[in-house]
Structure formats: structure tokens, C-alpha cells
Amino acid sequence: MSRKNMWIVTPLKEDLFTGFYFSKKTKCFEFFPEIDLIQLKKQRVYLVLDSQVFLADLLNIPGKVSEFIKVQAENRVKESGVFLTTPKVVYKVVETLETTSKVFVFGIEEKDINNYLEKLKNIQAKIELITHKVLCIFCCFQRILFSEKMGFPVLLVIFDKTRIWYIVASKQALLYVRFTVIDEFLGISSQTILENVLMVKDYVYRFFQEDLKGLAFLGKGIEQINLEEILRESNLPLINFDSKLPVEVMEYPEFFGATVLDPVFNFLPFSEKLFLTQINWVERLMPVFWGLTGINLLLGLFLYKHNLELQKHIDSEVLSVKKIINELSYRIPETSLPKIKTYLELEKEKRTTLRLDEFLLWLSQIWDSDFILKNVTIGNNKIIIEVEIKGDLMIAQKKAEDLISHFEKQFEIEKSSFNFSGKENKGILKLEAVIKR
């Protein structure tokens, strides 16, 4: 987490939030039950959503190539039937096996992200992170509450004002997530919690062939339940966390989890991350700029009469640094950009006999480290694929020909084109092909 002052907030209702203000270091913080949107103006902000519509799942995905895993992870979430609109997906490879990868995926409605992103941008807030409450709680458990003495998996029961969350965590990933709404008239019911604990315990055993190793309670409201009865009837040991931790960590694990969130769980759009990198580069170079400006002034006072040429040289250096800073405000140095940019459009129809996962598994076996998958579309047994190939003209052209040869063994190629950019030292191969019958 940044050492600079920041707000970590979650929405309560329209233009109203709750959360913590962290000053300099996480050891210095203050909880605010209500935070008006305008209070976040020009502030650093971590946004923790608690959208009720989400998908958390642990998948076995064919292949090991990161680009192909991303395609299939996003496709599985889109086809889950959970979302009415386009979901935004984050994922993490938990384990890589010989021919498959075990991948944890988490998806929420993209409109939820865009709604609050627009509000915060309108007040010039510097949004550094957007994530979901469940992911924050898991990271809080994994990186703050975790103890080597614990067995896995464990069941975390978290209370908030309106809901009770049931999260099953292994050492590396979430296995199961659900929540129940607290009855506003009856309040928190120990019997209801016990029933849910037993249900989750049974689910984990049937689907993962694992026994829960412990039960932990977080949030505010624990004092209202019959803890002894729940532990006795569920036959699960209670997990006690380090008593030296601030009580706020136990009561609000989602906010403290945001401070140690795994970067792969950040839903912030790529364009916003790009902008943040620009700002950070400019901020890092500003001391250099002002330092040179100061040197320029001092030397100007002492040496102007004695060495006019030296003065001109210093002015030139300052102008050069200023030019670099201005350029950095519009673009990021190439070394700070991700090496691979994947822009994928997926179209899949029920009558398609060629499955995306099967095609990508086949493709991974002939993939080259100099290839970047730019686009792939599959439908009606037809494949349209665009691949960027790095290297000089001879290398890129040879690799393009080799890739076409591999395709010709499995597909009938209808169209192909290869365009090379000497300036960028890369080629773009486009193929349209149908499966051989």
C-alpha cells in the first residue's frame, strides 16, 4: 500500500460511503461511518465494492499459456448465466499441472465498476484500486490473520450490518462463498448460522473431499450469537487470531485486506492503470526537475557574468528534462508497459462444434514465445485469428509461414495476410480458416 494518505471506502448508498482514512502508514488510521462523495475530492482512493451479484469459482482450465487461460477464464464467467450484463473478470492461477491449470476466477458486473469510477473521476479522485469485499477478506486472512499452525480449509463467518458472509478459504484460494441477509426484525439468529455452517461443511466435503479444519468469526455482532452451541453442534474448533492485532482488523477485515490485496484482484480498467503510471512517473521526476531548476538559478546568479555559455547549457538541460516530463505525462516508457496486450473478442454459438478450450489447447502446443495473441473468434466451425509476431522481417515471416503450415494440417485456410512494420519490428498475421471435414 502507498505510504501517502488515502481513503479506503465502500458504498453505503448514492454518493455516500463508509470506510477508513489511512495517514502515512496503516498503523495510523481512523474509521468514518459516513463519508460524503465530496470528501474524496482529489484524494487517493481504494474502492471496495460489495455487489450482491458476483461469481467466485475454482476451475480446471486446459493449457498453461497465460493468454489462453485468460480467454477461457473470461469465457467461463460470461457463459455462467449469473450475469445479465457484461461481467468484469479477475483470475489467479493457483496451480499448474501437466496439461491443465487450476484457476480461481471472480467476476462482477462491469456496470457496478463504471458507475462508481465515473463518480470518483468527476471529483478528480485518484482511484488506485477497485475490488470486491470478498477478495479483500480473503487477502486479509491470507496475509494478516494467517498462522502456520492453521489447518485448511477453514470457514470464515463475517458479520456486517445487513448480511452474514460464509467464506471457505484454502491456503491459496477461495473454495466457496455465499451470504445470507439478516432479518431486520429478528436480527442475527444462532440457529440460522448453525444451519448454514453445517450446510457449507457438507458442501465442502462432497465437492472437494475435504473436511473443514476450523471456524472463525469476524465483523461486528459476534456477541449476539451462541458461540458455544455453534461450535458444539458443528464439531468444529474455533480459530483464534493474534490478540496483538488492532480490534479494527477483526471488525472490518475488508478495509485492511485492501491494503494487502493481491494486484491480480484489482478491477481497475487498464486505461486507468495506465494513467496512474503516468502520474507516478511524473511525481518521481518532479524532484529532479525542481532540483535542476534550483541549480539553474544558483549558477545563474554566480556565473552569469563570467560564463554565459555555461548558463545556456544549464538552461538547455532543464528544458530537456522538462520535455521528458511532459512526454511522460502522455505516455509510459515501454519498459513499464505489460509485455503482452491481449484484446480478445469472443463469439460462441451453441451449434459450434469446435470448442474454444479444445482449440486453445491445440494452439498452445505450437505456440512460440515471440507470439502475442491479439484476437480470436470462433463460430460455425470458422476461426478468425490475429497474431502479432516479434522479430525482424526474416524471422517474423519464417515464423508466420510455420504457423500457417500447422494450421493447414487441421484447417482449410480461406484467407491469410501478413503485414510487417519495420519501425516496430513486428508482423501481424491474420488467418480465416474452417475445420477440415
What is the tens place of the pLDDT at every residue in 72-93?
999 999 999 999 898 999 999 9
What pLDDT does residue 352 have? Answer: 40
Neighbours of 28 (CB within 10 A): 10
State yes or no: cis peptide before 33, omega within 30 of 0: no
Helix, strand, or coil (residue 146): coil
Nearest to 341 by CA among 375, 367, 376: 375
Nearest to 32 by CA among 2, 3, 50, 6: 6
Query: In Å, what is the CA distance from 280 to each residue of 273, 385, 403?
Result: 10, 36, 40
| Neighbouring C-alpha atoms within 13 Å toward the C-beta of 179 | 20
List the Cα angle 326/327/332 in 5-degree steps. Answer: 125
Cell of 290: 525542481
Query: In Å, what is the CA distance from 153 to each residue of 150, 176, 194, 246?
Result: 9, 10, 18, 25
d(CA 13, CA 22): 22
Instruction: Report the 3 state secondary structure along 162-227.
Output: CEEEEEEECCCCEEEEEEEECECCCECCHHHHHHHHHHHHHHHHHHHCCCCCCEEEEECCHHHCCH
pTM above 0.85, yes or no: no
Check: CB of residue 250 under 8 Å from CB of residue 121: no
The H or E element spanning position 277 is helix 270-303
Helix, strand, or coil (residue 377): strand
What pLDDT does residue 268 have? Answer: 94
Side chain identity, residue 372: I
The H or E element spanning position 126 is strand 126-132
Give me the residues of the chain with pLDDT under 50, please: 1-3, 281-283, 286, 289-290, 292-293, 296-297, 299-304, 306-307, 329-330, 332-333, 336-352
| CATH architecture entry for 356-435 | 2-Layer Sandwich (3.30)
Domain boundary assignment for the chain? 270-336, 356-435
What pLDDT does residue 190 have? Answer: 95
| Neighbouring C-alpha atoms within 13 Å toward the C-beta of 246 | 13
d(CA 411, CA 431): 11
Nearest to 184 by CA among 162, 214, 153, 154: 162
Neighbours of 168 (CB within 10 A): 22
Region of residue 182 (phi > 0: left; psi between -120 and 50: alpha; otherwise: beta): beta
d(CA 44, CA 276): 11
Locus of grid cell 505525462: 329
d(CA 58, CA 174): 8
Cβ neighbors of 7 (< 8 A, separation 6 or more) are: 19, 20, 21, 22, 35, 39, 40, 43, 44, 45, 46
